[in-house]
Amino acid sequence: MNPAPPLQTISDIERLLEAHAASHALLLHVESLGLPDAWIGAGFIRNSVWDMLHGREIDVARLSDVDVLFFDPVERSKEREAEIECQLRILAPGIPWSVKNQARMHLRNGDAPYRDTADAVAHWAETATAVAARSVRGKVKVMAPYGVDDLMNLIVRPTPVFGHKIDIYCERVMAKDWPARWPRLIMLMSWETAYPAPHSSFDRIDT
């Protein structure tokens, strides 16, 4: 792997993923399928950044899944998602691909219909997880609806939309046991600690 750049901005993450051959290859595989509004999100980026900030090299082999997101409001069947997973397993065997059409995920999550993949990502549980990347003609682009400050500062915080689902957030985070792997994480486990008054909301950043 090429020497990692300092991590401070979205552009730094983009350069990091381009420099890391295994990560870039996964993004290129997804790009090759030509899926609408397609990205790889969640732990694919979050874990890589946290590993680097803990002085470790990125290891995609340690990912429990590689979350591929796309947005197709016309063909929303699970069978289509399974077909895409099969295509990706042919391109990259041994990778735990998980493909989900975000045009139907609002039903599982109890939300209003999402407008696009970025809107779906904005409805994820943690700000540090609400980030995704894609390859556009080989160049990596990262989107982060709430920015990357929490990700870079090792802060685990619920996203603003989880105000009515804080119990789900806490259960999820506790089940992950992230501090065992990344001991420098700052875990914010209540709405009051995540958003102390008078700052009761989080500015959403469009990318």
56-86 tens-digit pLDDT: 999 988 899 999 999 999 999 999 999 999 9
Strand order in the sheet with 66-70: 97-101, 66-70, 39-41, 132-136, 139-143
Residue 18: pLDDT band (50, 70, 90) is very high
Q: Has residue 156 been placed in a domain?
A: no
Q: Has residue 14 been placed in a domain?
A: yes
Mean pLDDT over residues 82-103, rounded?
Answer: 97
pTM: 0.90
User: For 15-29, 90-104, 161-175, 187-201, which range has the lowest pLDDT when averaged over its residues?
Assistant: 187-201
Number of structural domains found in the chain = 1
Q: Is the preceding omega at residue 198 within 30 degrees of 0, hence cis?
A: yes
Q: Has residue 164 been placed in a domain?
A: no
Q: Has residue 165 been placed in a domain?
A: no
User: For 4-8, 33-37, 77-81, which range has the lowest pLDDT when averaged over its residues?
Assistant: 4-8
Q: What is the pLDDT of residue 72?
A: 97
How far, in Å, are 53, 132, 192 from residue 160 at the CA level?
25, 18, 12
pLDDT above 70 coverage of the chain, percent: 92
Q: What is the pLDDT of residue 151?
A: 98
What's the domain range around 56?
Answer: 10-147
Q: Which amino acid type is present at position 21?
A: A
Q: Which amino acid type is present at position 44?
A: F
Kindly tell me if the per-residue pLDDT of 205 is higher than 60: no
The 3 state secondary structure assigned to the chain is CCCCCCCCCHHHHHHHHHHCHHHHHHHHHHHHCCCCCCEEECHHHHHHHHHHHCCCCCCHHHCCCEEEEECCCCCCCHHHHHHHHHHHHHHCCCCCEEEEECCCHHHHHCCCCCCCHHHHHCCCCECCCCCEEEEECCEEEEECCCCCHHHHCCEECECHHHHHCHHHHHHHHHHHCHHHCCCCCEECCCHHHHCCCCCCCCCCCCC
Q: Which amino acid type is present at position 185?
A: L
Residue 206: pLDDT band (50, 70, 90) is very low
Residue 55: pLDDT band (50, 70, 90) is very high
Q: Has residue 184 been placed in a domain?
A: no
Residue 202: pLDDT band (50, 70, 90) is low
Q: Has residue 73 been placed in a domain?
A: yes
Q: Residue 20's domain is classified under what CATH number?
A: 3.30.460
Q: Has residue 99 been placed in a domain?
A: yes
